[in-house]
Amino acid sequence: MTKIATDRLENKAAAGVGAGTTETLFRDFMAGFDEFRASNDARLGEIEKRGAADALLEDKVERLSGVLDSTKARLDRQSLDRARPALDGVRPGAGGDEYKAAFSAYVKRGEEKALSVGSNSDGGYLVPAEVENEIARLMTGLSPIRAIAGVRQVSSAVYKKPVALTGPAVGWVAETGSRATSTTMTIDELSFPTAELYAMPAATQMFLDDAVVDVGQWIADEVNAAFAAQETTAFISGNGSNKPKGFLAETRVANASWAWDSLGYIATGVDGDFAASNKSDALVDLAYALKAGYRQNASWVMNRKTQGAIRKLKDADGNYIWQPALTRDGSATLMGFPLVEAEDMPDIAVHSYSIAFGDFRRGYLIVDRQGVNILRDPYSSKPYVLFYTTKRVGEGVADFDAIKLLKFGDA
């Protein structure tokens, strides 16, 4: 690819979401990766021959890596927008669900007729089930951890899950052979308390009076990005104070000393970096620290900056261990396992836990208490109408053996 073609990719990346169709963006992404691979090969060749690479070539590789990140982000957003269905766009005289129509009247004009079934003791009203489901669906598209974790709806403030740490004695016996008495199972109980998450979108009364406004879709669009951003931070690094406790806040021990109630880690052997030689060995060690039953459904989790460093690594045969998605709606892979980009994961630094690898569907559980509440407030911020929207969500590690971490440290 020529410099003109490279500049074209960078200009498109700077143009924003609207630059090109999904198909065009995907073609640009694949072309950018080909150029990145060729430039990085040249950079590695110069390092091997001369001990250092040309500064201009280093800068080109970094710029191309940024182009790949921004193009993939725009591709993801366009795919999400394309998948959004209409919710409750009921036109006057067209009929429709009675509660949805009453809820729309409440949002637009503050009318509370026929809404008593959806009221709660704290004030406000429950959104219709379709709107709640749409909020959850959109959040799954924006929240990287929610997309790969186990999710369960609950009806109480705390969900408790029993876990068998050791099972009863089992074995093979002859038809008439004696059976040994089974030992008692060791049970642990995990608790997943929920915490309240809120957003407060605002609208003018003129906007709400617009007859074609689909209030359900508007509410879902307004709150899902705010909810998803707050959730993702808490799921990764939350401290458990009025919010969930993130998996990086769990006790961490060297994998050789792993025990239940802690997450095992593999160290790179170098503070704040990979080893000087065979850099990808630490990733191989991390992958195989996970048991086979978990590894087959495992995903990598890291932020964009860490992914940029990983993208330059090769295996012993000279193949890049990072590979782009094969389809426009797919995800990149690392050593054949899907890679999930979560910006709240820490950057590579001394003793940082910047990469997680595991079966998050089994290892990490998100609990959503049923019901999203909305309280209409036309007084606090005139001429705007505020909509205090709340939901309760909790989370926690459900299987401490299903997730492993990479520590950028000497031990």
Question: Given this model, what pLDDT does residue 93 score?
Answer: 36
Residue 410 CA, chain-centre distance (Å), reads 29
Could you tell me which residues come within 8 angstroms of residue 133 by beta carbon, excluding any fewer than 6 positions away? none
Task: Judge whether residue 17 has pLDDT over 70.
Answer: no
For residue 328, the model assigns a pLDDT of 76
pLDDT at 290: 96
Q: Give the whole-angstrom CA distance, residue 213 versus residue 222.
A: 13
Task: Using the predicted structure, report yes or no on whether residue 96 has a pLDDT greater than 50.
Answer: no
Q: What is the mean pLDDT of residues 313-319?
A: 89
375-396 per-residue burial string, b: 16 or more CB within 10 A, e: under 16: bbbeeeeeeebbbbbbbbbbbb
Secondary structure class of 210 (helix, strand, coil): coil
Length of the chain, please? 411
- DSSP structure class, residue 294: H
Residue 92 has pLDDT above 70, yes or no: no
* Residue 86 confidence class, pLDDT cut points 50, 70, 90: very low
Residue 357, pLDDT score: 98
Higher pLDDT, 205 or 288: 288
More confident residue, 325 or 263: 263
By the 10 Å C-beta count (0-12 exposed, 13-18 middle, 19+ buried), 22 is classed as middle
The residue ranking higher by pLDDT, 256 or 89, is 256
Which pair of structure tokens corresponds to residue 251? 């006790």
Strands 364-369 and 384-397: antiparallel
**What is the average pLDDT across 151-171?**
78
**280-306 burial code (b ≥16 CB/10 A, e <16):** bebbebbbebbeeebbebbbbbbbbbb
Task: Report, as an integer, the average pLDDT of 267-283.
Answer: 94
pLDDT reading at 14 higher than 80: no
- Banded model confidence at residue 213, pLDDT cuts 50, 70, 90: confident
The pLDDT score that the predictor gives to residue 303 is 96
The two structure tokens encoding residue 9: 């990719």
The mean predicted confidence, pLDDT, of the chain is 84
Q: Does residue 163 sit in helix, strand or coil? A: strand
> Rounded to an integer, what distance in angstroms lies between the CA atom of residue 92 and that of residue 104?
12
Q: Which residue has the higher pLDDT, 361 or 105?
A: 361
**Percentage of the chain exceeding pLDDT 70:** 83
